Chains A and B, each alone.
Chain A
Amino acid sequence: MKPAPFAYESPASVDEALAALAGAGEEGKVLAGGQSLVPMLAFRLARPAVLVDVNGLEDELGGIEIAGGQVTIGAVARQRAVERAGLPLVSEALRLVGHPTIRNRGTVVGSICHADPAAELAAVALVLDATLEVRSRRGLREVPVEDLLLGPFTTSLEPDELALRLRLRPPAGWRWKVLEVSRRAFDFAIAGVVAGVGPDGTTGRVGVFGAAPRCYRVDGPVDELPELAVRRAEPTSDIHAEAGYRRHLVGVLARRALGALAGGGEVRA
């Protein structure tokens, strides 16, 4: 379990990072918190020729800003820092993401870009209308997370692109609840939901993780949301859960989360 050989680049600026990625062609990989990538390197499941380590870009990409109803999270902002930034929904979701030591290193943007179908953060990003600011030497673009996630561990990012920051756009007056089932505390979710109810109390959204090749979101009247969420599920079986159980959980968790919100749960984004 030692990585295959790779060249290591430690750029001092975003521009240098983009140059390194451009130079690596199809063979580059960005290293941020490394909590998923490093094990994949060790298993030789990921074999980049060039590893571009952006951890030195704290000044440019380490920020967390809350302004004008929008939350901006830089690419190397640690999950632990975001968890403590005064964002109740994001904090609640982060507390389900691995052990604290993992969150000390792991980044929010890295988790989104990893596109794990069971990732809590991707579901949070979906329900909060998040976009990702992405740059390459070819230019800058703002990609909705909805368009970013293509399938398991697959995104629409090009090999020369670097994700710079995530923008969350929590709608005003909504209340949220995160629920998941996992084999153990902090494990990957077998299935989970991020449920939200709007200020009118009748319309809502549910983001679902662990129940399809990618996280997804359904919108609609609160009463119909569990059914909508279940219908969109395309779960698979693995050694921890059968597909049917995952589908069952989506319905149970969506009902429970929405039920808790109907009871007046006050978790804001």
Chain B
Amino acid sequence: MRYVGRPVPRLEDARLLRGRGRFVADLAPVANVHHVAFVRSPHAHAEIRSIDASAALASEGVLAVVGPEDGRRWLRPFSVGVDGAEPYWPMAIGRARYVGEPVAVVVARDRYLAEDAAERVRVEYEPLPVQMEVEGAPVVTSRSFRFGDPEGAFARAAHRVGATFRFPRYSSTPIECYAVLADWSHAEEEVTVWSNFHGPFVMQPLIAACLGLPENRVRLICPPDIGGSFGIKSGVYAYIPLVALASRLAGVPVRWTADRWEDLVASQAGTDRVTRAEVAVDAEGRMTALRLEITDDVGAHLRPPEPATLYRCFGNLTGAYRIRDLAVEARAVLTNRPPTGLNRGFGGQQLYFTLERLVDMVARRLGLDAAEVRRRNLVPPAEMPYRTPLGGVYDPGDYPALLDELLARADYPGLVAERDRLRAQGRLAGVGMAMVIDPSGTNLGYIELARTPEERSRGLGKSGCTESATLTMDPLGNVRLRIATAPEGQGHETVAAQIVADELGVPISSVRVDAGVDTAAQAWNVSSGSYSSRFAPITSSAVIRACAALKARLRAIASGILEASPDDLELVDGSVRVRGTDRALPIRRVAGLAHWDPGALPAGVEPLLHVTASFSSHLARSPGQDDTVDSSICYGAVADLCLVDIDPETYEVAIRGYWTVHDSGRILNPLLADGQVMGALAHGVGGALYEELVFDRAGTPLATSFADYLCPTAREIPEVHIHHRHGETPFVPSGARGIGEGNSMSAPAAVANAIADALSERGVEITELPVHGSKIWKWLQETATAR
């Protein structure tokens, strides 16, 4: 029996559903753990005049208060990926730049006492002017790109369609918030940190540098279970030096478990973006050139890996369309909001909201059907693999067939008829679609685009997508796999076990997977971790490589007894067998031989049943002198269609049906794949209709609990029809592309297009999100007044 491709239930669920997961807060690896509470700035921008911690230090159970002077003395600013940017300290030193920025760290016997004492830390602030508008905010990094001949294409265009789009700032609100437990060893001058960090592990050297320690003296342990992240928890790295310093100065191990307020106010958010966009269109509706002027609000600091949101989708900036001429201005500005970073979809939702809205505007301008405009512009299968003008290399896919399947599955004409029927009843109804390219498996080199070719030429090149896997076989033939992904609930243990079981020809019950990370005890590299939907294309491929290495060793070991060449041996049904015969040895015999009687092995055969292998794609290269980069290893495609129904008086928006078709390559586990699709789609619906981190003009956050930060619940998510086109990508050994982010990118665009369709006859254009009743009411008031 083969496991890959089947809906194997998650191996993780038994422990999770019984409350036996092991999260950071469940770990008690050391004694005498104390607790941390942060003193956080109540001002969005203020000079810190003085700090008086004497009352806090005199409070019950308090061991230490770590203030800005301690930070300045013991820490170093994080290195920032852009030349000339302000250094980024993980706490406010001299000046606080957003509400919630850490100003001091209180260490006490428990969290209650720590919070009591934190209130007694007297901080004298002198408020400074606050910058909340993106327009006019200081630019921290800016680059111009030009590919092909955009000026010529716009000059020749029959139509030019453009608008300014505003994409909101929102999060992913993992159930478990940031958690760090740090144990500073004064004996060894090193620190051990348990945290629900999940990569990219490029942050490990950054943490070490901030602490002034060599990298091999920062041991980072990520537990087996992490309660969600969707990118947000990658930002916990910035707190690790603070908690480690608190442990160092207090002389005890300390723990911080963030609460929901801290998560919403001072963790990490997706980047809000303003895009001025224009597309050149010929008389037949073919888009020939694109002009994008992108401004990302990265908040108060350019916190690594920002300005990555600007460039994460660089290779696929033209989406599913054959647009050859581009002019791109990419800049990030600083405001007095918290720092931004990874958030499921990472740059994709911002991009496709603009691009897919533009396509619909083109359709309306030309009087064409939205599906027809897309069909005329899709990259044709004959041009696969397709190299975009920006350097992205799309692995083969049939985008027109994907669109056709979507239209067939959703009964597009029927859906349009249903819309018209609702309209006839007086409802505001609309149909909307989106087609997106879903990049997976980051090439970390893309971040280097923030530097000019000249700046890049002065340093080492950067690229990479490496992942590793280690397999160990015990004397009875059971295997243990170790990977460095620190999953947050995706089910990596299950899928990795499926792969190992198939590759080695053993039952899945004999495979144990460790996916938690210990940087002192396993293979890892700076690319390791779970982000950019890299498990399916990258980690899975590393697991396949490790299996191949172990198989080779098992064949060599068995070749003596079976009196056959290793090349003639195969692993099937728990045995090593001579191909085409019934001569076979159970794997446990082979393993036992290697462990117990290595003297009996053929000369030169390595007896150790412990192999580490890696996968890294040759496609991941540093950006070229012409600023092209293949920013991802694989590019899936997603096509979405939905029907929205808006109440004509209350303007409440309801999604009446949602169809999504994916081309994600090989589906490793359909149960988990569909789970990922639903999760990403719910997140996308959240961004379209509900979720927003709102601030007032003084920079005070207004969505600081789940009473005001509205995540869609089961009641808000429509019935979703999920379909997959089957095939394998030839670009990676696993044949699988990522699938966990596509609908986070597509759903905001599809829903926005449907709402725009619904309101099209009322003179309202959708250029911002989220959309809800009050906004629609206001827009209709404005258009009524304008008329």
Contacts and interface: CB of A to CB of B under 8 A. Distances in A.
B716 A184 contact: yes
Interface in A170-189: 181, 183-188
Interface in A76-105: none
B260 A242 contact: no
A181 B710 contact: no
Contacts of A186: 713, 715
Contacts of A152: none
Interface in A103-141: none
Nearest to B648: A252
B713 A185 contact: yes
A5 B707 contact: no
A241 interface: yes
Interface string A250-267: 001100100000000000
A255 to B, nearest CB: 9
Contacts of A242: 774, 777-778
Contact of B773 (A188, A190, A253, A256): A190
A39 B772 contact: no
A89 B718 CA distance: 29
B259 A188 contact: no
A43 B650 contact: no
B567 to A, nearest CB: 62
A202 to B, nearest CB: 24
Interface stretch (B42-50, B67-75, B109-117, B724-732): B109-117
A244 B259 contact: no
Given A2-B112, A181-B773, A244-B777, A187 B710 contact: yes
Interface string B106-149: 00000110011001000000000000000000000000000000
Contacts of A67: none
A262 to B, nearest CB: 17
Contact of B652 (A43, A181, A240, A244): A181
Interface in B241-262: 259-262
A241 to B, nearest CB: 4
Contacts of A241: 773-774
B475 interface: no
B111 A183 contact: no
Interface in B647-679: 649-650, 652
B568 interface: no
Contacts of B715: 184-186
A1 interface: yes
Interface residues of B, number: 31
* Interface SS majority for chain B: loop
Nearest to A182: B652
The interface size bin for chain A is 20 to 34
B690 A2 contact: no
Nearest to A251: B649
A190 B781 CA distance: 18
A245 B112 contact: no
Contacts of A252: 649-650
B712 interface: yes
A234 B440 CA distance: 51
A231 interface: no
Q: Which of B119, B260, B649, B778 has the most CB of A within 10 A?
A: B649
A188 B707 contact: yes
A44 B260 CA distance: 14
A1 B259 contact: yes
Contacts of B703: 239
Contacts of B606: none
Interface of A: 1-5, 39, 42-44, 181, 183-188, 190, 238-242, 244-245, 248-249, 252-253, 256
8 nearest CB pairs, A to B = A185-B715, A1-B259, A241-B774, A245-B774, A245-B777, A2-B112, A239-B694, A252-B649
29 contacts: A1-B115, A1-B259, A1-B260, A2-B112, A2-B115, A4-B115, A4-B116, A5-B112, A39-B705, A39-B707, A42-B259, A43-B705, A44-B119, A181-B773, A183-B690, A183-B710, A183-B772, A183-B773, A184-B690, A190-B773, A238-B702, A239-B702, A239-B703, A239-B708, A240-B710, A244-B777, A244-B781, A248-B777, A252-B650
